[in-house]
Chains A and B, each alone.
Chain A
Amino acid sequence: MPEEQVVDTPESQRVIAPGYTFGSVTDQISTVVLTKHTPLFWFATFAAGFVLLQGLLLSALLLFWKGVGVWGIRMPVMWGWAITNFVWWIGIGHAGTLISAILLLLNQSWRNSINRFAEAMTLFAVMCAGMFPLLHMGRPWLFYWMFPYPNPMNVEPNFRSPLVWDVFAVSTYFTVSLLFWFVGLIPDLGTLRDRAQHLITKYIYGMLSMGWRGSIRHWSVYETCSLLLAGVATPLVLSVHTVVSFDFTIAIVPGWHSTFFPPYFVAGAIYSGFAMVLALAIPLRSFYHMEGLITDRHLENSAKLMLATGLIVAYAYIMETFMAWYSGSVYEQQAFWNRMTGPYSAQYWFLITCNVVAPNLLWIRKFRTTPVLLFISSIIVLIGMWLERFMIIVSSLAQDYTQSAWGLFHATRWDFATFFGTIGFFVVMFFLFVRALPMISIFEVRTLLPQAKVREEVRS
């Protein structure tokens, strides 16, 4: 390759703080895992998550024992929090793959500091999401009927039903995300194996690192593999939430039956996904003093992405309302009118505040660069996105075609226990991950160092 084609564009702001060396990067990230000392805040957060998780176990036990009646679902609102939570968690799960796959393909190197935990977040979010379809079934012990397995009765699932598509979409997404995440972990697992003091940890990391030796051949296979996986995962980012949105668009419920749900849902998913990335990154980097690795630049980029997707979501709300009016369909019109003025109007306007009004503050640089403000914004967005799904599902069902069947949904304590229980599950899983695996990709961050760049120039 001719030398003059290599252009070293000086970046306006460094991706990671100056002063890092390969060694110090490796030290800082791996010590979190390899130290015997577990910080107090880890225990505190883990304990909080663990308590919530017990709520999930209790409510799931009750649910399996008695039936889905423990929730507030009713005629006509047959889907309530469970499906709201499902869509919310799936949406959150989008950021990880977007960061790992799409930003990798787009050569956005700043992603290197946040992709590992974002991918982990994706996995745990999809796990949380995946619980709900199972929990919400009337007869969960028959869940396997959703799969096309050979059986003597010759019955198959109904391939026209979006719920069957969901089964494939979500399981594919989970599998690919898991693979991607694990493949990306292998070089770092090798590092941990090499640095571990304790025999058992060494042994475990050794098993997991699958014989990684860091040879050129390994690296070459690794790079190819991760690029291929990125290629496979990229359409998934778009497809999963598209399929999830089909759960609604295929149905004829006014407020659901709309062709632009797929892009609207994908944008919303990335929106909430980045909100969750920020909600995790900001406390983590401060607790573990990783401000040097996850810099304000990362936060700002994520905030920009959040703002951009937030604006798409806002546009979708406007279009959705416009189309309802423009359709001339009395059912659509009234569905939206009811949203805005009916029994769920408080939630609706709160949702608009969270998702449309609040993110516009991110136009202001100070909001993007002040971690505390950004953390609060991201939490607001997460609440807003949850409400959005709640709004779509519950308010549309509560007042649909046949007026005589209208009825309002009221969540029960077990709805709360299940939802917050999955948050507990998420926290528990995430903190176990933080404790046991490098939360930031060591080898990828090292490529961000100026030293790496120099060598690259030398090489080329």
Chain B
Amino acid sequence: MSDLNKKTDLAAARAKLEGTRGRHYWRSLEDLASTPEFQELLEHEFPRQAIGWSDDENPVEGRRNFLKLMGASLALGGLAACTRQPTEHIMPYVRQPEELVPGRPLFYATAMTLNGVAKGVLAESHEGRPTKIEGNPEHPATLGAADNLLQASVLDLYDPDRSTNVLLNGEVRSWSDFYTTLREVLAQQTVKQGAGIHILTETITSPTIADQLQRIQKQYPALKWRQWEPAGPHSARAGAAQAFGQPVNTYYNVIGADVIVSLDADFLAEGPAAFRYAREFAGRRRVRGEQTAMNRLYAVEPMPTPTGTKADHRIPLRAGDIEEFTWALATALGAANGPKSGDNAEIYKRVGAIARDLQAHKGTSLVIAGEYQPPIVHALAHVMNANLGNVGKTVLYSDPIEINSTDQLASLQDLVSDLDAGAVDFLLILGGNPAFNAPVELGMKDRLRKARLRVHLSSLADETSEVCQWTLPETHFLETWGDARAFDGTVTLQQPLIEPLYGGQSVLQVLNMMTDNPLLSPYDLVKGYWATQHTGADFESWWRRSVHDGVIASSALPTKMPAVRGEALGTPAAPRPQGGTVEVIFRPDPAIYDGRFANNAWLQEWPKPITKLSWDNAAFMSPADAQRLNVVPKEQLDYGMTGVPMVQLTYQGRSLRAPVFVQPGHANGSITLHLGYGRTRSGRAGTGQGFNPYGLRTARALWQDLGLEVKKTDGTYYLAVTQNEHVLDTRRHIYRSADVAEYQKNPLAPHEGADVPPRELTLYPEYNYSGYAWGMAIDLTSCTGCGACITACQSENNIAVVGKDQVRRGRNMQWLRVDSYYNGDPGNPSMGNQPVPCQQCENAPCELVCPVQATSHSAEGLNDMVYNRCVGTRYCSNNCPYKVRRFNFYLFSDWDTPSLKLVRNPDVTVRSRGVMEKCTYCVQRINFAKIDSERQDRKVRDGEIQTACQATCPTEAIIFGDINDPNSRVSKMKAEKLNYAMLADLNTRPRTTYLASLRNPNPEMEA
């Protein structure tokens, strides 16, 4: 410390005073106050800390020391915050800490939003730290299920790369500094009525934020609010406007539909109500004994999706041809006046049968237009649904759930013109990453610099943060209060489980800084808003109830029956030429969506549905196209080590190099690119993975367009793929399926040719499982292959992330995998999904060969794995016919990063290097329930134990329970004729069995 420091130190001054005696006593306060030291002391409220800012001392040294201390204390503050509960009223346990029993997790209802739309979740909290997400059974969108994005969101909370500080040009500032700046700006703007203020947000459905924005706009009437969501339902909005002349929110009642036509809509796996749809859809396909009624799904899509794998008829068409298909179908239904024939035989030979099927099910059919199809497809779907009498039955309309349902592309383009005009004094970007994901020709990264003062609120420093002066750390949804609407308008409350780890603030809070009452806490904001909305008596108990449930009861928007405008459809565009240039298709990535989840390692490593690709995107193309372009990979079994060829993709003068991924079932003549990869500024997991299709994506064609030139280029790319072989060898009877008609004739049809050795064919005496006997049944008809279970398992069981290089080498650690199989013509194979956890064989081959008995059988039939005993000979894995064991080739678990320690499930061992691991049927959950039941002197109830994969499964395809109890759900499922064990001919007697997949094809159509 410099001398100056000492001079103005309060303690030093005091010491000096104490050191004086006799005549040097000060005689009056004035006498003392006249000393220069004291004068200086008066100027500085906190002399020691504030010293670095004074202009007259060596600015460099002081400031640096100060920053060091500040940084360190912030970091320590962040760490210390981890174990602290928020001081606000978390329902229901804040005032009852005696209920917080160590070792017993608590569950709180909260919400995560994507594209602004809420999905209600229950967050599991262990001693104050959220570790796991489950769906909220009370919530209409989740019904207790969750997907990979929800499951992985808890890792985002503890992401070590999160923004930890308010930064101004890279230097640490405080929130109050930002606040001061903001107020200065607002003061200047008051004169202009806020004309220079532009707020750019993502889609917002929060009623509280709506109220806030209203108040802000009242204060600054000229303030501009822009929205941009790169993968939002832009066409759905436009399509609704085209059909009804007003913005309308569309959702479906899938359970009421007997016949469903999906027009490039992955409604079972993507979108704000996907879990609900998937559950309803699966509920109509559950063939049990004599109950053989099934709904029927026609899917038209370019790139295979989970929905496509479930389709009874899947028609691969280029994304742009679906418009023609829709016209043809609408024409065949008599709902529109389009062409009755055309060049594309694939379309016209099928629409007739589909139309007849739809017409036979008036009021119980459903046409779903994909979010990425052009507005006309949506308009046609609306017209067809109206024509079929489905509106109000299977198709429901309400007012938009968004606060301001607007054309977001236009909104963004308005911002661009304002930027060009120099009219933007203050640009507040709340979430989102426009510098990365705006249409490429807007050159957003450079354009943003035209705003005079740019502020970016984000949880992670990204491409947009790079061009903003102020970057503010955003809270995670588990850290703050908020609200948002679900797909049907149901208000979902978001309550925090933990103090903001890094002092972040939410969109709500930042907007609130612009209001008259800037210091309100988010709790007061949300609660205060709802206090004004609540009409009945006793707000407190209503509020407590709502927070506890996570939803505000009956807050869904009322449905309505908008009339289709007469001139809605116009005339069909000319069908697009066959052949010629290739079509480019942009779709959000199944794992990292539009790029926002790029730094989530669980999602990065998550094998995407069907392709089983992780850590990358690729140019997906059909086998025929790959042949034509001469880019078929050398070794089909090995994309990871022998690699795949690269192609040069040129579109509108911009080009991109990308690895080839040959995807059977992909439409010929088009290439699908998943957005979100190629991040240049993200965290450790996100930066530099894959390639960036935003570099080709223009405002003219957000989703698909002809005109892509594809050229083979030099180079080999190594893709991390977790499944190499997809072609189903039907002789192995691993994945069994049949048509429901065959099943009706012979319920054992799916098992034809499969061989099961008789039980007595063994030299060993039968073991009598007298207590519980745990077993699992997986209904392959229900499984959509969405892969939510994989991430649920990863989160529940502390499964390590290994990184792209290791996945490439076949060392991914996910215990549960979802295999995808193709059967038939590679151009359009039928596809099947099969989740494969440990099969928990009664005659387990792995147990026999372990030299140290590290894996052995429990009396309840579990194939236990004793990590501590394992020496790592890996013999068990070799001898496992299902290959469900995973080995820690290195120290894969992160034992060092402090924040990642918090995400772990305390009930599951974190495995070290050299140890084998595998699915245990969530043995920690089994034991938890057993202990509970023993304390209450009863047996474990059926359904009391839900494995992590089961709990999250949107279609309830996975059922776990006691097979010794003949009335348990799992026993009943296993009693079905469809039930089979994988590789039963080996006589391993797996406890995990499958119900063969059934399809319900239209007899009128050829396969």
Whether the Cβ atoms of A138 and B806 lie closer than 8 Å is no
A156 to B731 alpha-carbon distance, docked (Å): 41
Q: Which residue of A lies closest to B866 (CB)?
A: A155
Chain A residue numbers with a CB within 8 Å of B638 are: 343, 407-408
Selecting from B14-22, B465-473, B709-717, B719-727, the interface stretch reads B719-727
Q: Interface readout for B344-361 with A: 1 if CB under 8 Å, 0 if not? A: 000000000000000000
A403 to B889 alpha-carbon distance, docked (Å): 22
A118 to B637 alpha-carbon distance, docked (Å): 43
B768: shortest Cβ distance to chain A, in Å?
21
Task: Name the interface size band of chain B.
Answer: 35 or more
Chain A residue numbers with a CB within 8 Å of B873 are: 133, 136-138, 163
Partner of A139, one of B806, B812, B872, B885: B872
Whether the Cβ atoms of A158 and B850 lie closer than 8 Å is yes
Q: Does B4 have its Cβ within 8 Å of any Cβ on chain A?
A: no
Q: Does B783 have its Cβ within 8 Å of any Cβ on chain A?
A: no
Whether the Cβ atoms of B889 and A68 lie closer than 8 Å is yes
Selecting from B110-118, B214-222, B520-528, B909-917, the interface stretch reads B909-917
Whether the Cβ atoms of A142 and B878 lie closer than 8 Å is no
Q: Known contacts being A139-B915, A252-B845, is A79 close to B874, with CB within 8 Å? A: yes
Whether the Cβ atoms of A76 and B871 lie closer than 8 Å is no
Q: Does A73 have its Cβ within 8 Å of any Cβ on chain B?
A: yes
Q: Interface readout for A298-309 with B: 1 if CB under 8 Å, 0 if not? A: 000000000000
Q: Known contacts being A139-B914, A397-B878, is A160 close to B637, with CB within 8 Å? A: no
Partner of A67, one of B640, B870, B890: B890
Report A377-408 residues with CB < 8 Å from chain B CB: 397, 399-408
Q: Does B877 have its Cβ within 8 Å of any Cβ on chain A?
A: yes
Q: Does A287 have its Cβ within 8 Å of any Cβ on chain B?
A: no
Whether the Cβ atoms of A139 and B724 lie closer than 8 Å is no
Chain A residue numbers with a CB within 8 Å of B889 are: 67-69, 73-74, 138
Q: Which residue of A lies closest to B987 (CB)?
A: A252
A410 to B851 alpha-carbon distance, docked (Å): 27
Q: Does B106 have its Cβ within 8 Å of any Cβ on chain A?
A: no
Q: Does B699 have its Cβ within 8 Å of any Cβ on chain A?
A: no
Report B937-995 residues with CB < 8 Å from chain A CB: 982-983, 986
Whether the Cβ atoms of A403 and B878 lie closer than 8 Å is no
How many A residues touch B, CB cutoff 8 Å?
Answer: 53
**A156, A397, A407 pick with most chain B CB within 10 angstroms:** A407
A160 to B847 alpha-carbon distance, docked (Å): 9
A402 to B817 alpha-carbon distance, docked (Å): 12
Chain B residue numbers with a CB within 8 Å of A138 are: 870-874, 887-889, 913-916
B837: shortest Cβ distance to chain A, in Å?
13
Q: Which residue of A lies closest to B733 (CB)?
A: A330
Whether the Cβ atoms of A146 and B849 lie closer than 8 Å is no
Q: Does A17 have its Cβ within 8 Å of any Cβ on chain B?
A: no
Q: Does A143 have its Cβ within 8 Å of any Cβ on chain B?
A: yes
B975: shortest Cβ distance to chain A, in Å?
26
Chain B residue numbers with a CB within 8 Å of A32 are: none
A400 to B848 alpha-carbon distance, docked (Å): 18
Q: Does B821 have its Cβ within 8 Å of any Cβ on chain A?
A: yes
Whether the Cβ atoms of B810 and A75 lie closer than 8 Å is yes
Report A65-87 residues with CB < 8 Å from chain B CB: 66-69, 72-79
Q: Does B42 have its Cβ within 8 Å of any Cβ on chain A?
A: no
Q: Does A334 have its Cβ within 8 Å of any Cβ on chain B?
A: yes
Chain A residue numbers with a CB within 8 Å of B632 are: none
Q: Interface readout for B460-498 with A: 1 if CB under 8 Å, 0 if not? A: 000000000000000000000000000000000000000
A67: shortest Cβ distance to chain B, in Å?
4
Q: Which residue of A lies closest to B641 (CB)?
A: A410
Q: Interface readout for A316-334 with B: 1 if CB under 8 Å, 0 if not? A: 0000000000000011001
Whether the Cβ atoms of A157 and B819 lie closer than 8 Å is no
Whether the Cβ atoms of B850 and A161 lie closer than 8 Å is yes
Whether the Cβ atoms of B881 and A250 lie closer than 8 Å is no
Chain A residue numbers with a CB within 8 Å of B845 are: 251-252
Q: Does B515 have its Cβ within 8 Å of any Cβ on chain A?
A: no
Whether the Cβ atoms of B871 and A343 lie closer than 8 Å is no
B883: shortest Cβ distance to chain A, in Å?
3
Q: Interface readout for A141-160 with B: 1 if CB under 8 Å, 0 if not? A: 01101100000000111101
Q: Does B875 have its Cβ within 8 Å of any Cβ on chain A?
A: yes
Q: Does B734 have its Cβ within 8 Å of any Cβ on chain A?
A: yes
A155 to B869 alpha-carbon distance, docked (Å): 10
Whether the Cβ atoms of A163 and B983 lie closer than 8 Å is no
Partner of A157, one of B641, B729, B851, B878: B851
Whether the Cβ atoms of A402 and B637 lie closer than 8 Å is no
Chain A residue numbers with a CB within 8 Å of B888 are: 67, 138
A328: shortest Cβ distance to chain B, in Å?
10
Q: Which residue of B lies closest to A404 (CB)?
A: B819
Known: A252-B845, A403-B726. 16 other contacts (CB 8 A): A67-B889, A68-B872, A73-B874, A76-B883, A137-B873, A138-B887, A143-B871, A146-B851, A156-B853, A400-B883, A403-B727, A403-B729, A404-B819, A406-B724, A407-B810, A410-B809
A-B contact pairs, 30 of them (CB 8 A): A67-B891, A75-B811, A137-B871, A137-B873, A138-B870, A138-B873, A138-B888, A138-B916, A143-B871, A145-B871, A146-B852, A156-B853, A157-B851, A157-B853, A163-B875, A247-B875, A251-B875, A252-B879, A252-B986, A400-B881, A401-B881, A402-B734, A402-B983, A403-B725, A403-B734, A404-B817, A404-B819, A405-B723, A406-B637, A407-B637
Footprint of B on A, CB under 8 Å?
66-69, 72-79, 133, 136-140, 142-143, 145-146, 155-158, 160-164, 167, 247, 250-253, 330-331, 334, 343, 397, 399-408, 410
Cβ-closest 7 pairs across A and B: A138-B872, A138-B914, A69-B889, A74-B810, A405-B883, A78-B874, A404-B819
